[in-house]
Amino acid sequence: MGMVHKITPDLLRGVALGLLGAFVLAIMSYHLTVFIFRKRFPVPPKGGAIVITGASTGIGNHAAQHLARQGYIVYCTVRKPADVEAIQALGLPNLRPIIMDVAQAKSIENGAETILAELSKNNIPLIGLVNNAGVAQKFPLEFHPLTDLRSMFDIHVIGPLELTQRLLPAIRANKGRIVNLSSITALVLLPTGAAYGASKLAVEGISDGLRRELVDFDCSVSIVQPAYVNTAIFKKVTQSIDTKVEVSPEIMTTYGYFFRTEKRIKDRAAVDKASPPSVTTDAITHALTSPYPHTRYIVANVSGIPAFWLGWLVWLCPDRLADFIMGKFS
C-alpha cells in the first residue's frame, strides 16, 4: 500500500509557499523573456502630430495636455462644440480640438481629411494615433439592449479601425506609433460587464494583428489595459447601475444579486480607490516615445489590488477557480 499523507497546517503552508514561489518565478521569467525579445523602434521627433480620440475629459484629455506640454502637436477629437471651447480655454497652442464622432463613418472621414490636410499644408509628420474614445455599459447579457451593444462595438472597434485605416499611410510613412485603449476587463470579465469586455477583447485582437502586420515597417502598436482610473466614465457606470435598477424590474427579478445595495456600495468603494489618470498618461507616453515600447501596459487597480497582479492571478487559475475569484469582486 502507498503512503497516505495527513493534511496538516504545516503541509498546507508548504503548499501555499510552493505555489507562491511558482507564481513569483513565473512573473520573473515573463519579465526576463520580455527583456530578451524586446524590439527597438525609431523614436518619433517632438514637434510631430498625435491624434487622440475621446479627449474631452478623462484619460484622453489628461494624456493630450501632457503630450502638448512635451512639445507634440495633439489633435483632440471631441463630439461637442462646448468641448472644443473648453480645450481652447486651456491656452495650450499645441492642443488642437476637432469635432469627430467615432461612431459615425462620415464624421471620421471628415475629421481625418481635415487633420491630414492641415499636416500636409504645414509639413508636420503624423507620428501617433491613440484610440481612446469609449463608453461603459453594465447589463447581464440576457438583458443587454442590442442597439446599445452595436453602438458600443462601433465606438470601441469599428470606428477606431476605420480611423486607423485612414491615418495609417501617414503613420507608416513616418514610422509612427498606434496606441489602443483596451481594459483589464479583457482579461478579467466580471458579471454584467461581459459585453464591454468582449468589445475590448476585439480591440486586443485587432491590435495584435496590426502589430504583426506593421512590424516590418518599424511601426509600433501597443495596448493599454487600465483597471479603475479616476475619470467620469467609472462614475457613470455606478450611476447607470442605479438607473437600470429603478427602471428595469425584470432585471432585478432575475439578476438582482448583481444589483443589490451592498454591490453598489462596493462599486462606489472601488471607484474611490481608483488610480489617478497619470498612470494611463505615463503608459501612453511611453508607448508613443520610448525606443522600446511595450506591447501591453496593465495599469491602475481594482479595489486596491494592482491590475497587473490580478490579471496574472486570473490567467494562471483554472476557469472554475477564476469564476470563484471573480464572484468575490461582483
Residue 26 lies in a domain: no
> What pTM was computed for the model?
0.89
pLDDT value of position 1? 47
In a domain, 2, yes or no: no
Residue 196: CATH number of its domain: 3.40.50.720
Cα 113 from Cα 79, distance rounded (Å): 17
Residue 24 has a pLDDT of 76
Q: How many domains does the chain have?
A: 1
* Cβ within 8 Å of residue 53, ≥6 positions away: 60, 77, 100, 102, 130, 131, 132, 133, 160, 163
Does residue 149 belong to any structural domain of this protein?
A: yes
Grouping H, G, I as helix, E, B as strand and the rest as coil, residue 120 is: helix
Residues marked active site are found at: 196
In a domain, 299, yes or no: yes
1 located within any domain: no
pLDDT of residue 55: 97
Q: Which three cell numbers stand for residue 72?
A: 507634440
295 CB burial (10 A radius; 0-12, 13-18, 19+): middle
283 in Cβ contact with 60 (< 8 Å): no
Q: How far apart are the first and last CA of the chain?
A: 46
What pLDDT score does 160 carry?
99
Q: Which residues of the chain have pLDDT under 50?
A: 1, 244-245, 247
* Strand 305-306 to 301-302 pairing: antiparallel
Per the domain annotation, does 21 fall within a domain?
no
